[in-house]
Amino acid sequence: MRAAGANLVSFITIGVLVGCGVTLLLERSLSRILLGVILIGNGVNLLIVFGGRSGEAPVVGVSDEAAMSDALPQAMVLTAIVITFGFTAFLLAISYRSWYLSGDDEVPDDIEDREIVRRTAQHEVSAADLTGEPPTADPQQVDAPAPPREEGPG
Amino acid sequence: MLVLLILHLVAAVAAPLLVRRWGPRACYLLALVPAAAFGWALVRTPDVTRGGAVVETYPWIRELGLDLALRMTTLSWLMTLLVGGVGALVLGYSARYFPPDALGNSRFAGVLVAFAGAMLGLVLADDLLLLYVCWELTTVFSYLLIGHSTERRSSRWAAAQALTVTTLGGLAMLVGFLILGHHAGTYRWSELAQRPLPGGAYLVVAVLLILLGALSKSAVLPFTSWLPVAMAAPTPVSAYLHAAAMVKAGVYLLGLLTPVLAVVGPWRPVVLIAGLATMLVGGWAALRQTDLKLLLAYGTVSQLGLLTVVVGVGTADAALAGVAMLLAHALFKAALFLVVGVIDHGAGTRDLRELSGLRRTAPVLTGVAVLAAASMAGLPPLFGFVAKEAVFAAFADQPLVLAVLVVGTVLTVAYSIRFIWGAFADRPGADATDLGRIAPSLLAPPALLAVVGLVAGPAAGALDHLLRPYPELFGAVGKHLALWHGLTPALGLSALALVGGTALFALRGPLAPVLARLRWPVTGQQGYEWTTHRFDRVALNVTSVTQRGSLPQYLGLILIVLAAVPGGAVFLIEPWEQPLELWATPAQPVVLLVVCVAALLAVGATRRLTAMLLVGMTGYGTAMLFVLYGAPDLALTQFLVETMTIAIFVLVLRRLPERFSTRPLRRSRWIRRAIGVIVGTTVAALAVGAAAARQARSISEEFPHLAVEEGHGRNVVNVTLVDIRAWDTLGEMAVLVAAATGVASLIFHRSRTGPRPRRREVAEDDAPAGRAVWLRGGATLHERQRSIVLEVVTRLISHTAVLFSLYLLFSGHNAPGGGFAGGLVASLALTMRYLAGGRYELVEAAPIGAGTVLGAGLLLSVGGGVVSLIADGTVLESTRVDLWLPLIGHFYLVTSLFFDVGVYLVVIGLALDVLRSLGAEVDRHIETAGGSGGGLAGQRGEAR
């Protein structure tokens, strides 16, 4: 009785759910991104479950063992559902914090990355470089003599 | 030998404590450690001079065939004496050099001793890999020592440059060693040297790589630049690392390998060209320096070039001259560095334009310096003269090389005179520099080294006897070390070099413009900076192309790759064969249609609430599909989670703007939709392919059987979660705890664990006396916020819900339910109480902290696993316990129930944290903000 799982309409639904989820995921608003994640999650959960055999509830004694649905993908998806819930809560908290701090829940461009793009355009070299700048202007005269008493009293 | 290495290690660890307790004076004590190495080598002299070796081998990493193989032959004996002897002197010198209260003293002492230990390991290692390990250790310690003055930029720069250059060489050398050892079948040098090495291109590559390591460590061209820069180090460090020890590591390696590898094609040309060029360039640059220490540094570069040539050329006479030169150079150069340290220490400068009259104010120091510099210039009867004679004699049959060596020696003589003149002569019109009283402990180490250089000259015959086993590795040795060989051509060349050098110094006035102009067209420093700069630019360019900073772009790229690679593969393979049927039951397409329409509408929705409800609808639809599929546990969990999700979504949405902000870019919207369509199609195709792809039997066919036999439960899904795949569930619980903590820390500005606000006491008065009021927290809410219907419904069903959740928890092992479903039902009951009664009611309902609940849950699950580990020897193994209770009768418990209770508690803990954060704490924010829009951004906007 594999029919209730793998059939054309269910695969189309998986595709629609994932496609809609991806479209939302590519937005800038965190709430939309979150909704996209949930949609993708639903689609992928269906995909995993439909990968197994469908049938009757996997409870020994209630159903015949031969007619039982596959329990392994169900167990995996069950944890996935709960994890999605935890993830949803976390992203919602981020949305709220973002709104609290900046007035909306949009994901801005990463400032550091933008800075790197700007520097490249202006041919600047990173100042975060470990070495920074050479000791002195003249590479031959490497280190100015230590100022008096810097290295120790007499 | 191992004892010595361990002694160094212990001393290095103990050094910071000792220095903190006794100040820098503790260095005297620490100096005993390298001195012990010196003494040990001295005692073992007879073993080595007869051509034998002291060998110790300890097993280390058997799997790699790596042993702590230590072996002392003549060359390493000499290096041990230098490393130990000079190390002890430098440590003693440091005791007075650094001010007692200076920062970093304790670190310095520890690192210097550790460096001495690493250097000792390097010269004693017989295994090439062990040698490499010690080699890199010296690099790391030298980084710390050069960068001693951490507050000075030049110091940090110098340390980083030395590290970069020598590590580059070290890694190349490692590859060379690996190639060599792989082909020879052993990394033990003493064995490797005995075997016939199969020739081939690999050998040439290995030799070039090893030379790269040796030359970079010894600051030979083209790697010279780091050594002068490293003069930013404190002077004792320069004396030890840059005269006696670390820079000699490269020369030592050449000396070790030359007997075997000198015959390989590129060895001699590379060594000769690089060494000779370095000798000339370094000597020329030394003549230009006004900083005494830099003058010595360039002098060292020049001498290292000379040593590279003499040690690396691979003839018996040159080898003898090489070890003699190695010894002579360590003696005079360390002494000279220490003299500069005394001057710097006393005068506060080491610029020769500012120093004047030191020969009168510091006569003893002058004597020491003259002695050492004379040895450097090759003046008889000092040991430097003996070594230089031997060098000239060894190259008598190679006139071209000899000519360059003589020119290099002329430069050496000239900068030796320049050093003495610069440091000690009178400057017209300048006051005499006063160094004050020079502490004997500062004067003794350089004096000792200089005197040894003086004594060793006449004693050259005895030294010749001691050093002889090394050159004999190359064959018969024709020459001897001696002060007087008679009127030989070498003596003539020595005299020529002395005259030429003196003349060069005398003509310094007229030659000054030439000196200033005639430079290496590209200095090593410029080369280094250019290279690192190019690397920075490439890194910037790559980063700026790949990391534009836009999250949608990153995600889009990842998704396109997903569609292109696995998706492309699916469409190429076309794994689907039999035609798929359209649908199974008539109910299925109806549910699916609802899900699809809801998902499509959610994409276009502009109001947050609408979008959220539509997405929720897809969730309920998914749950319906699980029912049709035959997965009651999944359906139950999905229904509950969907409800919980909607509740917390609403909690946050009450604060966010009603509509999504509109995005003006139409084009990007179409791009997003196109990616969505492509990825959706790909995933659907993947799903079809995956469903048809099964070939092996599923392991889950055993699960029903296993569940009853091993897990003692009939609900296969639940037994899978708490027993068969309990590790997965444990990991998931950890994720939930992390998510809960994350939510709380994002919302709470203050500690979450502080006293929770209890119901306001005024509310107590509203309660009619004598009758317990339930849902008392509701009294704290404003009248307009209360909902009678909600309160009544909550009163009716919330206890029932909690009972039901317990039922699901306990029955879940045999019927649909379990910890997840039970926990979610209990969470919904809590949510209801919060919604009906407000944040004070939440505390009434759950008067313990969310963290406590989470922790208890995790503890219960992990604890159950530990108990079963102790009892059965297997983690998370279930046992059935049969019990009997009055009324209930006979029943049994499965130990995995405790695990499920843990799951139950973790889910409740997560819900509590979410309600406390996104519910109660956000309530508080709203109350604090009053009527304003709220949020920091809103407050800022109003302030403007």
Q: How many angstroms separate the CA of residue A138 from the nearest CA in chain B?
A: 10
Is B678 within a domain? no
User: What are B751-763's pLDDT values in tens digits?
Assistant: 555 555 554 444 4
Which residues of chain B neighbour A65 with C-beta distances below 8 Å?
704-705
Query: Nearest to residue B422, comparing CAs of B369, B497, B375?
Result: B369
Statement to judge: residues B203 and B54 lie in one domain? yes
Residue where a domain stops, chosen among B219, B241, B263:
B263
Residues B62-88: what's their mean pLDDT? 88
What's the average model confidence in pLDDT over B387-415?
90
Q: How far apart are CA B410 and CA A94, in angstroms?
A: 73
Residue B253 banded pLDDT, cuts 50, 70, 90: very high
* Selected residue with higher pLDDT from B286 and B935: B286
Decide: helix, strand or coil at residue B69. Answer: strand
Query: In the predicted model, is pLDDT for residue A4 greater than 50?
Result: no
Least confident of B136-150, B276-290, B771-785: B771-785
| Dist. CA B681–CA A14, nearest whole Å | 9
Q: Chain B contact for A13, CB < 8 A?
A: yes
In a shared domain, residues B92 and B239? yes
Q: What is the pLDDT of residues B706-724, one digit of tens each?
A: 888 888 888 888 888 888 8
pLDDT at B186 over 60: yes
Terminal alpha carbon distance of chain A: 95
| Closest Cα in chain A to B910 | A86
Residues B309 and B243 in one domain: no
Model confidence at A18, in pLDDT bands (50, 70, 90)? very high
Residues 65-84 of chain A whose Cβ lies under 8 A from any Cβ of chain B? 65, 68-79, 81-84
Q: Are residues B234 and B383 in the same domain?
A: no
Q: How far apart are the first and last CA of chain B?
A: 75
Residue of A nearest to B594 (CA): A13
Q: Is B226 helix (H, G, I), strand (E, B) or coil?
A: helix
Let me know if residue B824 belongs to a domain. Answer: yes
Mean pLDDT, rounded, for B920-943: 68
Residue A134 confidence (pLDDT): 44
Tokens at residue A89, please? 């809560």
What does the pLDDT read at residue B824?
93
Q: Are residues B435 and B378 in the same domain?
A: yes
DSSP assignment of B623-666 = HHHHHHHT-HHHHHHHHHHHHHHHHHHHHHHTTS-SBPPPP--H
How far is the CA of A66 from the CAs of B545, B624, B724, in angstroms?
A: 56, 23, 20
Q: Does B619 touch chain A (CB under 8 A)?
A: yes
Using the Cβ of B284 and the Cβ atoms of chain A, whether some distance falls under 8 Å is answered with no
Orientation of helix B292-312 relative to helix B246-261, angle to 10°: 10
Same domain, B754 and B887: yes
What is the residue whose two structure tokens read 């950890």? B734
Q: Which amino acid is at B245?
A: A
pLDDT at A140: 34
pLDDT digits (tens, 9 = 90+) for B129-163: 999 999 999 999 999 988 888 777 888 888 888 89
In angstroms, the CA B873 to CA B229 distance is 61
- Among B414-428, B741-755, B819-833, where is mean pLDDT lowest? B741-755
Residues B153 and B202 grouped into a single domain:
yes
Higher pLDDT, B771 or B851: B851
Interface check for B515 against chain A (CB to CB < 8 A): the answer is no
Per-residue pLDDT of B838-887, as tens digits, reads 888 888 888 888 888 999 999 988 888 888 777 777 766 777 777 777 77
| Domain stops at, among B661, B690, B714 | B661
The answer to whether the CB atoms of B629 and A6 lie below 8 A apart is no
Is the CB of B548 inside 8 Å of chain A's CB atoms? yes
Set of chain B residues whose Cβ sits within 8 Å of the Cβ of A71 = 700, 703-704, 707, 716-717, 720
| Best residue in B656, B668, B718, B825 for a mutation probing chain A (most A CBs within 10 Å) | B656
CB of B267 closer than 8 Å to CB of B211: yes
Rounded distance between C-alpha atoms, residue A84 and residue B824, angstroms: 13
Residues contacting A132, CB < 8 A, separation 6+:
B153, B156, B157
Q: What is the pLDDT of residue B765?
A: 46
Does residue B288 sit within a domain? Answer: yes
Q: Decide if B716 and A60 are in contact by the 8 Å CB cutoff.
A: yes
Stretch among A11-25, B715-729, B741-755 having the lowest mean pLDDT: B741-755
The reported pLDDT for the residue numbered B224 is 83
Is it the case that residue B109 has pLDDT exceeding 60? Answer: yes
- B820 lies in some domain: yes
pLDDT for B67 beyond 50: yes
Nearest CA in chain B to A124: B537
Å between B25 CA and nearest CA of chain A: 15
For residue B275, being part of any structural domain is answered with yes
Domains in chain A, CATH or no CATH each: 8-111 (1.10.287)
Rounded CA-CA distance B560/A141 in Å is 54
| B591 plus B515 within the same structural domain | no
Same domain, B251 and B271: no
The whole-chain average pLDDT of chain B stands at: 85
Distance from CA of A1 to the nearest CA of B (A): 9
Q: Of B366, B508, B370, whose CA–CA distance to B432 is shortest?
A: B366
Q: Which of A70-79, B480-489, B593-602, B644-653 has the lowest mean pLDDT?
A: B480-489
Q: Which of residues 22-51 of B touch A (CB under 8 A)?
A: none
Q: Is B100 on the interface with A (CB under 8 A)?
A: no
pLDDT band (50, 70, 90) for residue B346: confident
Contacts of residue A133 in chain B, CB cutoff 8 Å? 153, 157
Same domain for B411 and B304: yes
- Are B278 and B232 part of one and the same domain? no
User: What CA–CA distance (Å, rounded) separates B108 from B514?
Assistant: 42
Q: Which residues from A are below 8 Å from B583, CB to CB?
A: 7-10
Residue in B288, B714, B938 closest to A60 by CB: B714
| B176 CA: distance to closest CA in chain A (Å) | 29
Q: Is the model more confident about B276 or about B929?
A: B276
Does residue B149 fall inside a structural domain? Answer: yes
Q: In this structure, how many other beta carbons lie within 10 angstroms of the beta carbon of residue B543? A: 17
Looking at the fold, whether B716 and B808 belong to one and the same domain comes out as yes
**d(CA A99, nearest CA chain B) in Å:** 7
Q: Is residue A137 predicted with pLDDT exceeding 50?
A: no
Of B607, B637, B661, the one marking the end of a domain is B661
Instruction: Tell me the C-alpha distance between B816 and B808, whole Å.
Output: 8
Tokens of B804: 């039901």
- Of residues B450 and A6, the one with the higher pLDDT is B450
Is pLDDT at A143 greater than 60 in this prediction? no
B792 domain residue, yes or no: yes
pLDDT, residue B256, reads 92
3-state secondary structure B276-291: HHHHHHHHHHHCCCCE
Average pLDDT over residues B901-928: 89
**Spatial separation of the C-alpha atoms in residues B258 and B263, rounded to whole Å:** 8
Give this prediction's pTM.
0.67
- Domain around B634: 555-661
The residues, ordered by sequence, that sit 6+ positions from A104 with a Cβ below 8 Å of its Cβ are: A29, A98, B657, B661
Q: Higher-confidence residue: B377 or B763?
A: B377
The answer to whether residue B629 sits within a structural domain is yes
Please answer whether residues B599 and A20 qualify as being in contact, where contact means their C-beta atoms are separated by less than 8 angstroms.
yes
Is A119 close to B540, i.e. CB distance below 8 A? yes
Asked if residue B2 has pLDDT above 70, the reply is yes
**Structural domains counted in chain B:** 4
